[in-house]
Amino acid sequence: GENVEQHPSTLSVQEGDSAVIKCTYSDSASNYFPWYKQELGKRPQLIIDIRSNVGEKKDQRIAVTLNKTAKHFSLHITETQPEDSAVYFCAAHVSAGGTSYGKLTFGQGTILTVHP
Partner 1 sequence: GEEVAQTPKHLVRGEGQKAKLYCAPIKGHSYVFWYQQVLKNEFKFLISFQNENVFDETGMPKERFSAKCLPNSPCSLEIQATKLEDSAVYFCASSRRKMNTEAFFGQGTRLTVV
Using DSSP's 3-state secondary structure scheme, residue 22 falls into strand
Chain positions 63 to 102 lying near partner 1, rule: CB under 8 A, are 87, 89, 93, 95-96, 99, 101-102
* Rounded CA separation 26/111 (Å): 23
DSSP code for 37? E
* Rounded CA separation 105/83 (Å): 26
29 binds partner 1 (CB under 8 A): no
3 binds partner 1 (CB under 8 A): no
| CB closer to partner 1, 62 vs 106 | 106
32 binds partner 1 (CB under 8 A): yes
Query: Which residues on adjacent β-strands are paired with residue 4?
Result: 25
| CB closer to partner 1, 72 vs 101 | 101
Rounded to 5 degrees, what are φ and ψ at 80? -60, 150
Report which residue type is found at 116: P
Kindly state the smallest distance separating residue 111's Cβ from partner 1, in Å: 8
| CB closer to partner 1, 80 vs 110 | 110
25 binds partner 1 (CB under 8 A): no
Instruction: List residues near partner 1 by CB under 8 A.
Output: 1, 31-32, 34, 36, 38, 42-46, 49, 51, 87, 89, 93, 95-96, 99, 101-106, 108-109
